[in-house]
Each structure stands twice: as structure tokens, then as C-alpha cells.
Amino acid sequence: MINTYLKYLLHEKKYSEHTILSYKNDLLQAETFVTRIDPNLEMCDLNHKILRSWIVSLIEDKINPRSVNRKIATLRSFYKFLHSREIINDNPATKLKPLKTDKPLPEFVQKKEMDTLLDKVDFVKDFFGLRDKLILELFYGTGIRLSELINISDRSISLYDSTVKVLGKRNKERVIPLTKEIVNIINIYIAKRNELFGESRDDVLLLTDAGKKCYPMMVYRTVKKYLEHITKSSKKSPHVLRHTFATHLLDKGADLNAVKDLLGHSSLAATQVYTHNSLEKLKSVFDQAHPKA
């Protein structure tokens, strides 16, 4: 049943491989727990009591509440699928309640720190330096996800319109404007790239040092290396630059719906988390400047 469900997520729901792997790991963990209780039990035979006992065991093992909530969401989705396919008569996961968790604000890099990184750091003008600079500029200038960045092709970029087309979650396309600085870097970078590796690269924009398509860990290491020089933030990842993009836009008065569309969020609720950072900044200014504060 688990494999059938995972195929459903891949082919019908169009979930990413990373997301499907998370669902798979959660369900296999649940299956392992159930097997210890009774080797003859199947996942489709479980009731609410058994599912709840697994969740309780996770809490007792001090698993992070957010991780527990993800596993609860996995169970609810899995049994909803089984119920919709009439494989089970009753959904045993409907009564599972998520744990209460604090909602931390997204970490982001300060404006002056980003200015230092992009305007004052001396990137070497060869392929390697230009590629690293382009990776940072694209993350901060467009707010795209890591998976979206590594799949950018030459054809997805319109230098004439100064836009890039990316394929987001659930295969949803969106078009994002590019700054003049990014367009300029792309032009120079492509010339250097073609000079070094030739023009036959399966239409992939960003390449590794060996001329292959970039992979997530390589991009993550690149971002972390440069952020370590300019910020003391505990998180130094591509997603931090996505948070930084959204926060800085809202700080400058950008429309929330516009930021939602740029980020590729399916709902406004996912974007509203960035308004908290802007509100904290406003409160700080108020406390410092208002005579009655």
C-alpha cells in the first residue's frame, strides 16, 4: 500500500522527489513501530489507538514537535488516500491532532550585509567567480528555491524581457523579473561558460567546476561559504536568501500579494510570516522615535 500511495504522490499530486522521500521515511518508521507490536499487522489494518501510540512514543523519545507534526500530516494524507480508494472503511488518522509549536520568524540577512556581499566582495572574473556571484544574485534577486535554481535552463531566460521562467512546486510555472545587474552577469557568465565547456550542456545554465549540472549540496556549500563572511546568523543557506528577498521587499513597501506570486506560494498565509519581521522593524523604529514610547 505504501508504494501505491507514493506512486500516487509522484504521478497525480506531482510532489517533488524530496517530499516523497520524506513521506516514505515517515510511513516506513510507522510500519516498523507497528511490526514490533504485531508482525502480522498491516498499515491498512491500524486503528486510531495504534497510530496514537506511535505518536506518543515519538514524543517520549523527545522528537522535535515539528517533525512529529510532519509525521501526523503524513499519516492523515496516507489514510485519506486509502479511504478515498475504498481500501479502508474508516480513516483512523482523522482524530490525530498536531502538537502545539512556537512559530519562529524566518531568519534573514540584513540589508547592509547583503550590500557588502554583492557590492564589495571581490569575485574573480573567471567562470567560477561569475557562477558563484550569479548564484547569490539569483537567490537574493528573485527569491527562487534551490530546486528551481539548479533547473534553470538557458531557454528559460529572456534577456530581452529581463525575466526568468522557473518550475516550482507541483510543476507550477511562474515568470520572475530580473534586475539589470543579474542580466549583465548572465551575459558575461554564459560567454565564460561556453568558452570553457562549449555549448553542448543539455541547456543547463549553472554548471559545476567539472562542467556538469549543479547539484543541491554544491549550491548549498557555495552560499554558506560566502554568507559566513558577512553574517553571524545561525542559518546560512539558500533558503535564508529566499527569506531575505521577501523580507527586504516588504520592508520597502512591496504589495503582499505581489511577493506571494514572486515566491510561488499557493496561499497568502505562507507569505504573511514575513510581515512579522517588518512589524518588528516598525516597532523598533516606533520605540526609538516616538516621544511617548
Q: Say whether both 247 and 126 belong to one domain.
A: yes
| Shared-domain flag, residues 226 and 142 | yes
Q: In what order do the strands lie in the sheet containing 173-177?
A: 157-158, 163-167, 173-177
**Is 102 inside any structural domain?**
no
Our count of domains for the chain comes to 2
Domain-terminating residue out of 84, 102, 127: 84
Domain edge (last residue) among 41, 66, 84: 84
Catalytic residues: 145, 169, 239, 242, 265, 274
With respect to residue 96, please indicate whether it lies within any of the assigned structural domains. Answer: no
Q: Mean pLDDT over all residues of the chain?
A: 90
Please check whether residue 251 lies inside any domain of the structure. yes
Of 67, 242, 184, the C-alpha closest to 192 is 184
Structural domain of 11: 2-84
Residue 31 lies in a domain: yes
Sign of CA dihedral 82, 84, 88, 94: positive
- Whether 149 and 11 share a structural domain: no
Claim to verify: residue 118 and residue 184 sit in the same structural domain: yes
Tell whether 98 is covered by a domain.
Answer: no
Residue 92 counted as domain residue: no
Residue 90 lies in a domain: no
How do residues 127-174 score in pLDDT, each as one tens digit? 999 999 999 999 999 999 999 999 999 999 999 999 999 998 888 899
Residue 149 lies inside a defined structural domain of this protein: yes
d(CA 222, CA 37): 46
Look at phi and psi of residue 211 and say left if phi exceeds 0, alpha if psi is from -120 to 50, else beta: left
Q: For residues 247 and 139, state if they share a domain.
A: yes
Q: Which of 25-39, 96-110, 135-149, 174-188 has the lowest mean pLDDT?
A: 96-110
Give residue-wise pLDDT tens across range 191-206.
Answer: 999 999 988 666 899 9
